[in-house]
Structure 1
């Protein structure tokens, strides 16, 4: 079973969707650790309820990003995490994590990338007046939502849709698409890894 670390900064609805997929047997991996950068984040309570260890590492406790990310790497090694899943983690991943987990970090973003990268993608879409937005799962590189796209699903914005309404539509798609896509990646990864006698 491939061990996952989920990185989250907020309420953790995607974290919960991934854990639920593991519990119902539709996820090849095991969520071994929650990594959070905010001690007040609601996702920590979710992890506790599910019996999943969590670690809070705050950037403000470190003089440099390298030290911050190395502290995270140390925890990932301790919990034998092989694959990193960003689920509402509001920080750019830096070289320390990227080098150690190259090709093994995925993110979910609430738009059809390359449209509306960065913060407040839903607000960006509404401000532009687009009729279609969506959800993108992509590998993480050094840019802001610029890594190779793995999966996308469109979400229609109807006339009169509120920001809250669009967010709810997007989250419903995310909670299905993300666990499915992670499972596909892990299944492919498992087939590529040689089995040692």
Structure 2
């Protein structure tokens, strides 16, 4: 069984839809303490920190730092990059509205870092660790003020990296996607399938 190191309902739904047995264990990692000027490296570092923290929580570790147990742990983190600026979750409705005014009709890149720790693993040394970032390009619809305000009023954008949920109401505000669809929702199922293949 896979341990998902994320509180994201969207990631959980993706695993359920793909019939991947899993359970959820939230990492408790202070994401604000992890910084990197490169968004691709940043989402990898965040995904790695979550996976390693949950690996220790889920299995415990012996005196040498070796995790005990038999479950792989998956950590993920997503960020939207628009015109070179990193967009995580909007802090409030005003920020979400301002972002949507800028993004309407334009392209952005959604980066999701993935870190898989097969068990047992040495969390300190990353033995057997798989780490990568999957990038998907997203083109947003040319929406006006009324649509932007109506969408933000649903509260959905405040829960998502970049301020939109492809699998929710925000899906109608996306014109085109280049790359992995599920990556925009929260994790790349094709990548995970390859990683979990026997």
Whether these two folds match at TM > 0.5 is no
TM-score by length of 2: 0.43
TM-score by length of 1: 0.44
